[in-house]
Amino acid sequence: MGEHGHGHRSPWARLRHRFTPHSHDSADRFDNALETSQRGMRTLVRSFLALFGTAVAQAVVVLFTGSVALLGDTIHNFADALTALPVGVAFALGRRAASRRFTYGLGRAEDLAGVLVVLIIAASAVLAGFEAVRRLADPRPVTGLWVVAVAGVIGFLGNELVARWRITVGRRIGSAALIADGLHARTDGFTSLAVVLGAAGVALGFPMADPIVGLVITAVILLVLRNLAKEVFRRLLDAVDPATVDLVERVAGEVDGVRAAGEVRMRWIGHSLRAELSVAVDPALSVTAAHHLAHQVERRLTWRVPRLTAAVVHTEPALGAEQAHQLVGPHQKLL
């Protein structure tokens, strides 16, 4: 079984897998930036409409039942629908062409959108915890329990549908921001289920069930926030999967004429990767031949490495390169 095998795991391991950002890069295929942005935008529009419709349906129930718990969940779902806006803006900015000022384009706007989603999840955790503690201190009656429970189920189904869309497409196109937004929707779906469990507890004569479940949901949100924040801030700090770095070195080393490959540097720009690396070649090669070989390496890399769109390949002689580096160090100038 590979690194991401999913069989024969404990329920806790499956739960953590479900709420943890992860990647199946070995099965991914490269999509160009325009295609992936369009796919991401379609997903955002569909998920916005689904969440907005869910919130409207819950709002109708609130009008007839006066449920404070459901009102909070409804407001939260309206807010969640609006989180599609910063991610959508990031996708639109990422499609702009590079300029003299922004020489790599604006693809990293997605990373900023991911940070915004993290902040929204953190605010959700604070709000959920505050409401749970407040309701423990001041319990409130809930009427129309069966209708409230149905509305909670609707909230869960709507959020889970949106979560599946966003996470699936986010992993396919390599968008950390879209994955973050999908995980946010998934946590909110379980927040909606808290309304159902709370209503069931009240129906069974245990009015404190609602705030207790609210505290449990707060803990789940904090767990998701921890995993998600690590993923988003790793992307901000240019972290990449070490296995991808190994793949770049291996693929470059397989090109005819390359004796060794190393000094690999990689970074995400939006949902695409760029790489810089050095390859050792025959010292007798002409400048033209070495230049041609560098392009061969780049073409092979963009074909074999998932989501890699460009590679800057530095050729150096297999013998004598270190002496040249010592003559011209990183902080020296040629005279």
pLDDT in tens, 201-244: 878 888 777 677 777 777 877 887 887 788 888 888 888 999 99
pLDDT score, position 212 = 78
What does the radius of gyration of the chain's CA atoms come to, in whole angstroms?
25
**Distance from chain centroid for Cα 143:** 39
Q: Is 194 helix (H, G, I), strand (E, B) or coil?
A: helix
**Cα-based distances in Å from 232 to 109, 115, 240, 243:** 12, 7, 12, 19
Q: Please name the residues in contact with 295: beta carbons below 8 A apart, sequence gap of 6 or more.
A: 313
pLDDT score, position 334 = 43
pLDDT score, position 28 = 35
pLDDT score, position 18 = 47
Ranges of the chain whose pLDDT falls below 70: 1-37, 66, 68-69, 140-142, 177, 210, 320-335
pLDDT score, position 140 = 67
**Cα-based distances in Å from 290 to 13, 179, 252, 296:** 50, 41, 14, 10
pLDDT score, position 294 = 94
14: number of CA atoms within 13 Å, CB side? 6
> pTM of this prediction?
0.67
